[in-house]
Amino acid sequence: IKSDATGNGSVIITTVGSNGDYVTVERYIPAYSGSDDGWHTIASPVDNMTITGSDFFPGANDDLYKWDEPNNIWENYKAGWGDDNLYATEGYLVAYETSATKNFYGLLTNWDWDLFPLSYTPTEGNGWNLLGNPFPSAIEWGTADWALTNVGGVAQIWNDAGGNYISRNAGDIIPSTNGFFVQVSSATNSMTIPTSARVHNTTNNYKSSRVEEMDETLLLTITNEENTYYDVNRIGFRNDATEEWDIAFDAHKMFGSSTAPQLWTVSNDEIFSQNYLPYVYESYQLPLNFRAGVNSTYHLNFEGVESFFPNSEIHLEDVLLDKIIDLREQQLYDFMASTDDSEDRFILHFYGVTTTGDKPELNDTRIFSQHNTIYIQSGQMPKDAYRIEVFNVMGQTVYAERMEPTTLGSFTLNEKTGVYVVRVYGDKQTIVQKVMIK
């Protein structure tokens, strides 16, 4: 099965249980040009292939790694990881000094792969597991037959061209002979890589995302003028979303190359590369953090502004330059950045409704302050208790409590004079207000 710089060949075996004769499956891998590029995640379409003597055996200036989730480290084959095989369903990270087409050789896999449990170490690798496409064809990620249980619905695939990981949503392609990351939420988890997910697609590395238009969704892309690296972030609103990690459709941020730009949102003290939130009925402020990989001019592009209701407003606040950009009028923002800038550079402001549904009970709620007392006034009696959080200008949580249903509640904030952000969480809505504490 051939492979070159333009893509991979593809085979789908339809006979149940048949894996045929021994087969050679090629994978073209471009060489690196420096320490920060030329990395590729690979996966074997044959099981238990011996590394020693194979094309994938790393030379003196080559690298072959596997991911160790319990210890949150990359293990180098040349340092001795205790095995000499490449296993189907496992992903590996490689870099080679010379561009070459390398061969997998063995019996093709042609059955559903049930994986359970995947490793989960919350104090180390946070449940991130590097898996591999075990078939000699591409697969569609996250369809129903994957049967994800406590496994994130968004996979991450390495994009060498961008120097970053890219989110793969349900129905997106994972190329043949390619690795991908998934994140599990507990030690009790399971998933299946099903034969029904196999499709013909000749991409050999991540190339481009499936085009998908969604209401109330922004796609952010950050590029620079010093190198070709970029990052992508997705932000959206839906009625079944929360501000926490929604395992079915949110993705935590995975950081890429040190010289690539990094873009992520912060919600509930977690960082995201894809973040869906509850619908907005009045206003919402979302921290958008940025890390420059190199000193350069950067270009931040917003797609999808037109997918929001016409009466809503979306503003980008550049905290460093004290600028507000109306994204209805300007979808591309150019700015200078250096590697020692603060990461808390941007805030996204959403005003007006992002849904035509009924307004929840917090819609008539006012938040105001007097001296060091903060008041929560409701136009109607809330049905349930609601959670309150207060943040300082650095984004740190300085107060977090639950308030029982009342039309006028208050609490004292024993903090220094300054501006604080109060966030009130209802059942289906969150409202945010800045207040002054004296």
pLDDT above 90 covers a percentage of the chain that reads: 72
* SS3 state at 13: coil
State residue 210's pLDDT score: 44
Poorest-confidence range of 82-86, 320-324, 354-358, 421-425? 354-358
d(CA 376, CA 423): 10
Poorest-confidence range of 61-70, 75-84, 314-323, 406-415? 406-415
State residue 325's pLDDT score: 95
d(CA 334, CA 239): 33
CA 367 to chain centroid? 33
| pLDDT class of 355 with cuts at 50, 70, 90 | low
276 pLDDT more than 70: yes
- Rg for the chain (alpha carbons), in Å? 24
d(CA 75, CA 67): 6
| pLDDT class of 341 with cuts at 50, 70, 90 | very high
State residue 17's pLDDT score: 54
Q: Which residues are within 8 A (CB) of 264 and not within 5 positions of it... i.e. 6 or more apart?
A: 233, 253, 271, 272, 273, 288, 289
| pLDDT class of 381 with cuts at 50, 70, 90 | low
Average pLDDT over residues 95-104: 98
d(CA 167, CA 153): 10
State residue 280's pLDDT score: 79
- For residue 61, the tally of other CB atoms under 10 A from its CB is 11
State residue 333's pLDDT score: 98
State residue 18's pLDDT score: 53
State residue 208's pLDDT score: 45
- What DSSP line would sit under 220-255, residue for residue? EEEEESSSS-EEEEEEEE-TT--SS--TTT-EE---
Range(s) within the chain of domains with CATH label 2.60.40.3080: 365-437
Average pLDDT over residues 100-119: 95
The architecture that CATH gives domain 365-437 is Sandwich (2.60)
Poorest-confidence range of 13-27, 98-112, 347-361, 387-401? 347-361
- How far the first Cα of the chain sits from its last, in Å, is 71
Q: What is the pLDDT of residues 157-211, one digit of tens each?
A: 999 999 999 999 999 999 999 999 999 999 999 999 999 999 998 776 654 444 4
State residue 370's pLDDT score: 86
User: Given the structure tokens 């969704």, which residue do they identify?
Assistant: 217
